[in-house]
Amino acid sequence: MRLLLDTHVALWAITDDRRLPRAARALIASSENSIHVSAVTVWEIALEHARYPAGMPVSGGDALRWFRESGYPMLDVTPDHAAHLESLPRLHAAPFDRMLVAQALVEPLRLMTRDADVARYGEMIMLI
């Protein structure tokens, strides 16, 4: 299975955070799955770290390095992803999450998230 990790899930995966559910951890660790992280995730981490370093102790640069060291392919934002945004219903207002949904639908990838509002976008979204 081709999985795209949302920002929380990606952070929990690289920091071995106990908030990552056992089933999600198993899917990420399985060699049968291809785990992807979006440039959008690095962007969101970098912005949050710059604004609130105490709330986001991982910098964008450190996160990117850890994603690469973990062997996760990085997914760039393409014009097709951007254009797909206008066809998404307004089920969620956060621009980073909406772009991750668009990327998952265009690629296609299963987006792994903890956000029930994001999961409303359909079967390509995996709620953990």
Calpha distance 30→13 (Å, rounded): 13
* Residue 16 belongs to domain with CATH number: 3.40.50.1010
Q: Tell me, yes or no, whether 19 lies in a domain.
A: yes
Cα angle 122, 123, 126 (rounded to 5 degrees) comes to: 100
Over residues 8-50, the pLDDT tens digits come to 999 999 998 999 999 999 999 999 999 999 999 999 999 999 9
Cβ(23)–Cβ(128) under 8 Å? yes
- Which residue in the block uniquely carries the two structure tokens 């990790």? 5
80 is a domain residue = no
83 within a domain of the structure (yes/no): no
- For residue 54, the enclosing domain spans 2-75+88-127
- Rg for the chain, CA atoms, rounded: 14
CB 121 within 8 A of CB 88: yes
The overall average pLDDT reported for the chain is 95
Q: pTM (2 decimals)? A: 0.94
Enclosing H/E stretch for 125 = strand 125-127
